[in-house]
């Protein structure tokens, strides 16, 4: 009887461990972009909400940048979607390399990325964003037949303003991104 109980306890422990691992895998897939490994939009929205609450509570600034890969459709159309995926992964890595440990970046959607810079002044946020822009511009992605598309990105950069919702901050960054596109792309427009 005791052996049977011990065996049932071992089986129960294995199942609980399996359920824990499955739960962690589901949580990761719910919050992570499968292509780039960055935070996905759902995760970014939660982080924005938390950072806005913290910034309001402690009267701290944060910078917010939205970037869009310039002429990305051309890359997909000319080189194929696999090349587009490689470009997005390379850009993700360039963004990640450009940030500090406590900064947050993620795939906002399609070829758009969002960068959250906690406790960061406007000047410092501009420096970080320019570093990201430069790192993307310097990327090379080797494709078959020796071709390598030039990658650039346009950025809208703003700072959280006390009392506003994070969606107001995001909308302002998005408007500034559109201005960057209209001004000729491959640039940071701040406001």
Q: Which residues pair with 112 in a beta bridge?
A: 68, 109
**Given the residues 24, 46, 53, 111, the one annotated as active site:** 111
- Is residue 111 flagged as an active site residue? yes
3-state secondary structure the chain: CHHHHHHHHHHHHHHHHHHHHHHHHHHHHHHECCCCCCECHHHHHHHHHHHHHHHHHHCCCEEEEEEEECCHHHHHHHHCHHHHHHHHHHHHHHHHHHCCCCCEEEEEECCEEEEEEECCCHHHHHHHHHHHHHHHHCCCCCCHHHCCCCCCEEEEEEECCCCCCHHHHHHHHHHHHHHHHHCCCCCEEEC
Hey, which residues are catalytic here? 111
């Amino acid at each position: 009887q005791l052996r049977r109980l011990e065996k049932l306890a071992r089986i129960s422990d294995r199942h609980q461990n399996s359920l824990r691992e499955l739960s962690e895998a589901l949580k990761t897939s719910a919050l992570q972009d499968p292509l780039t490994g960055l935070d996905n939009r759902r995760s970014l929205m939660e982080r924005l909400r938390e950072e806005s609450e913290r910034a309001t509570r402690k009267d701290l600034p944060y910078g917010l940048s939205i970037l869009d890969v310039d002429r990305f459709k051309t890359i997909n159309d000319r080189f194929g979607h696999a090349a587009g995926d490689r470009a997005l992964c390379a850009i993700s890595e360039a963004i990640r390399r450009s940030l500090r440990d406590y900064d947050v970046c993620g795939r906002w959607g399609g070829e758009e990325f969002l960068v959250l810079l906690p406790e960061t002044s406007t000047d410092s946020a501009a420096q970080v964003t320019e570093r990201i822009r430069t790192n993307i511009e310097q990327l090379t992605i080797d494709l078959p037949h020796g071709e390598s598309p030039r990658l650039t990105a346009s950025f809208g950069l703003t700072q959280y303003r006390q009392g506003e919702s994070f969606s107001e901050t995001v909308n302002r960054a998005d408007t500034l991104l559109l201005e960057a596109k209209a001004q000729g792309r491959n640039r940071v427009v701040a406001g």
